[in-house]
């Protein structure tokens, strides 16, 4: 296998198929700290069903590896209280940059690969055997590449009721037989034409301009209402085309589906942060992980980890910056867990005064203090019985309250304030914070034992700037919902404005994005939101990048000009042959030649 990789490495790279570790790694892996004890490390590996884990320092730099075998040996020699930094393997792994080629695996003899970013921070892991299996499949895919075109053509012709693909100029470059039969235009006649000339009432030409996806839109074709998707195709932060799909051949099929949903009494709700479905004032409506908007690899991976953790009763700690949607993930986990039939109770630990939080969590008996309600009052733990208690902003809880919470988690029972009766706890605990609890533990601002109780499984929600591929979908969703909220005709973004949104750092995450969109919807009189409508601070931030972007564009144009001219020379000026070699339609070639002055 390795010899095959070595012998074919140059061939694979020349084809532009060079895979990198970032694309094949397991993101957000479980990890241990050097000052974990052997007992703590064993507990964590057992709870996460893992047989090994990387060890990192405070800067997330990998410094070693711990395996189940090493832990077992330490326990057998009665070293369970020893720190794992004294028994970890310092040389049993290879640290590789996330941009390094996977094809270089033959240069390493290690079984474990720690993937690091440019600052040597751990961002993923790969096991050698998994890597070899993927490489085997990868090489087989390359060998079968010549068959891919016919397979895709078959998929195009069988998928949905109609599929059309346009380039960034709005020219049709793919068109399936179903669409052709429906509108009565031969496929060959449709290819190379502007989409507006072929498909009535289409909006694909605007999709490539704005970069805004549309899902479930109604489009009238030959007087018949169709349910369609319009999805922009992005490449290197630019829209290079769009795909339009007829999902239903008329709305009657959609009505049947909606009737089925209603008959099952499935309630689909909306959260102010990340959900894509309709609005409701009922905060108890179901929230599922599928409703969280995001198509990026980071979002997909976080959802995968959340689904896996939800299937167990393990305590979960959700971390991430403010505005990333930690509460939504907590609700989604609740709905997938064995406690989903019970209530979901949300407690904002940072919003409750310190002198009231104990009675809020545990409740109180009648006469427990001046002003206590007659008959006493149930606390959040009682209200969450057989359900999920979400302790948001757990890092704001006082040390005194942390001690009482730890005792409850250990004993699985509690007493109301002013009472003596024991109440059993049958509740799923999910905690969340935007603070660095590990640092707080070191500063003695958070109990270490409580930290380990809560942090059995940590789910790190990435910031929006770490998953910029999600921005267009988020913009599309919130633009529509804000226009509906304020009874304003639906607006759209210019491609320049959307590009700013994709490159803006979004320090306030999705919450900031919602705020900006709401402001633009309310203050912009035009139907199209352009650069001039954006807040000045957004324009100022991206203005410094414009010079670099223009230089890159000029460099790209020069390369394209040279390529086209070279192929024209090879084809003796035959533009049809040149277009075929470039893999584009001849009409698109004419447009590129005009733009490049050829």
What would the pLDDT profile of 436-487 be if each residue is shown by its tens digit?
Answer: 999 999 999 999 999 999 999 999 999 998 888 888 888 888 998 899 999 9
**Residue 201 token pair:** 């009432």
Pair 348, 394: CB distance under 8 Å: no
**What is the pLDDT, as a whole number, of residue 17?**
58
CATH match for 153-254 among 1.10.10.10, 3.30.450.20, 3.40.50.1360, 3.40.1440.60: 3.30.450.20
The top-level CATH class assigned to 2-143 is alpha beta
Confidence of residue 267 (pLDDT cuts 50, 70, 90): very low
**What is the pLDDT, as a whole number, of residue 211?**
85
Instruction: Name the range with the highest mean pLDDT among 182-191, 367-376, 387-396, 467-476.
Output: 387-396
CATH match for 465-534 among 1.10.8.60, 3.40.50.300, 3.40.1280.10, 1.10.1740.110: 1.10.8.60
pLDDT tens-digit readout, 31-49: 899 888 988 888 888 877 7
Determine how β-strand 316-319 pairs with β-strand 457-460: parallel
Pair 376, 333: CB distance under 8 Å: no
**CA distance readout (Å), 513 to 119, 313, 322, 504:** 28, 34, 13, 10
From CA 376, how far away is CA 365, in angstroms rounded? 4
281 pLDDT higher than 70 = no
From CA 42, how far away is CA 186, in angstroms rounded? 66
Provide mean pLDDT across the span 347-369. 86
Pair 95, 14: CB distance under 8 Å: no
**What is the pLDDT, as a whole number, of residue 279?**
36
Confidence of residue 85 (pLDDT cuts 50, 70, 90): confident
Rounded to whole angstroms, the maximal C-alpha distance in the chain is 98
**Residue 86 token pair:** 């004294």
Count other Cβ atoms within 10 Å, centred on residue 281.
7
User: Taking the model in full, what pTM does it have?
Assistant: 0.53
**What is the pLDDT, as a whole number, of residue 439?**
92
More reliable by pLDDT, 324 or 258? 324
pLDDT averaged over the chain? 80
E-strand ranges in 450-574 read: 457-460, 492-493, 528-529
Provide mean pLDDT across the span 232-236. 79
pLDDT tens-digit readout, 91-109: 888 888 988 888 777 677 7
Pair 320, 462: CB distance under 8 Å: yes
Task: State the residue for tokens 């309250």.
Answer: 401
Tell which residue, 274, 270, 342, 272, has the closest CA to residue 303: 274
249 pLDDT higher than 50 = no
Least confident range of 108-117, 249-258, 533-542: 249-258
Tell which residue, 338, 334, 311, 294, has the closest CA to residue 432: 334
Boundaries of every domain in the chain: 2-143, 153-254, 289-462, 465-534, 541-596
389 pLDDT higher than 90 = yes
More reliable by pLDDT, 553 or 304? 304
The region, left, alpha or beta by phi > 0 then psi within -120 to 50, assigned to residue 576 is: alpha
CATH 3.40.50.2020 is held by the domain 289-462: no
- From first CA to last CA, the distance across the chain in angstroms is 47
From CA 254, how far away is CA 247, in angstroms rounded? 9
DSSP codes of every residue in 388-402 = EEEEETGGGS-HHHH
């Amino acid at each position: 296998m390795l010899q095959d990789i070595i012998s074919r490495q140059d061939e694979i790279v020349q084809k532009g198929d060079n895979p990198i570790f970032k694309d094949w790694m397991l993101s957000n892996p479980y990890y241990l700290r050097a000052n974990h004890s052997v007992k703590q490390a064993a507990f964590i590996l057992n709870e996460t069903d893992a047989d090994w884990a990387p060890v990192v320092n405070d800067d997330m730099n990998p410094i070693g590896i711990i395996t189940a075998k090493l832990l077992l040996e330490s326990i057998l020699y009665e070293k369970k209280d020893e720190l794992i930094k004294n028994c970890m393997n310092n040389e049993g792994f290879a640290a590789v940059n996330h941009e390094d080629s996977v094809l270089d695996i033959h240069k390493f003899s290690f079984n474990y690969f720690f993937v690091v970013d440019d600052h040597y921070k751990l961002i993923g892991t790969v096991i050698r055997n998994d890597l070899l299996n993927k490489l085997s499949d990868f090489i087989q895919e390359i060998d079968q590449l010549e068959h891919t075109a016919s397979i895709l053509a078959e998929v195009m012709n069988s998928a949905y009721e109609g599929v059309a693909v346009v380039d960034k100029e709005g020219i049709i470059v793919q068109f399936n037989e179903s669409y052709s039969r429906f509108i009565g235009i031969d496929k060959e006649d449709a290819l190379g034409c502007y989409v507006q000339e072929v498909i009535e009432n289409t909006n694909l030409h605007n999709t490539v301009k704005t970069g805004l996806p549309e899902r479930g839109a109604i489009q009238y074709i030959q007087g018949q209402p169709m349910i369609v998707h319009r999805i922009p195709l992005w490449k290197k932060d630019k829209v290079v085309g769009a795909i339009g799909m007829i999902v239903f051949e008329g709305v009657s099929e959609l009505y049947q589906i909606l009737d089925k949903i209603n008959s099952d009494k499935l309630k689909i709700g909306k959260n102010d942060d990340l959900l894509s479905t309709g609005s409701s004032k009922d905060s108890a409506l179901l929230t599922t992980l599928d409703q969280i908007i995001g198509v990026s690899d980071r979002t997909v991976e976080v959802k995968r980890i959340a689904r896996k953790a939800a299937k167990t009763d393990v305590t979960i700690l959700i971390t991430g910056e403010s505005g990333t949607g930690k509460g939504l993930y907590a609700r989604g986990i609740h709905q997938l867990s064995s406690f989903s039939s019970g209530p979901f109770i949300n407690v904002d630990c940072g919003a409750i005064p310190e002198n009231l939080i104990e009675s809020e969590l545990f409740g109180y008996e009648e006469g427990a203090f001046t002003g206590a309600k007659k008959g006493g009052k149930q606390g959040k733990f009682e209200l969450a019985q057989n359900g999920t208690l979400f302790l948001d902003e757990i890092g704001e809880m006082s040390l005194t309250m942390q001690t009482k919470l730890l005792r409850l988690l250990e004993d699985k029972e509690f007493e109301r304030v002013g009472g003596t009766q024991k109440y059993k706890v049958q509740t799923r605990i999910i905690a969340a914070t935007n603070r660095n609890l590990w640092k707080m533990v070191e500063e003695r601002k958070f109990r270490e034992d409580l930290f380990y109780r809560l942090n059995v499984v940590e789910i790190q929600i990435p910031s929006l700037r770490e998953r910029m591929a999600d921005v267009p979908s988020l913009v599309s969703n919130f633009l529509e919902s804000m226009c509906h909220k304020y009874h304003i005709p639906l607006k759209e973004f210019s491609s320049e404005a959307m590009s700013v949104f994709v490159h803006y750092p979004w320090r306030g995450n999705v919450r900031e994005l919602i705020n900006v969109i709401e402001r633009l919807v309310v203050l912009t009189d035009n139907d199209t939101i352009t650069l001039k409508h954006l807040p000045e601070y957004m324009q100022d931030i991206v203005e410094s990048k414009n010079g670099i972007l223009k230089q890159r564009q000029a460099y790209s144009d020069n390369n394209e000009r040279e390529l086209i001219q070279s192929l024209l020379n090879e084809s003796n000026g035959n533009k049809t042959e040149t277009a075929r070699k470039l893999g584009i339609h001849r009409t698109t070639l004419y447009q590129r030649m005009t733009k490049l002055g050829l």
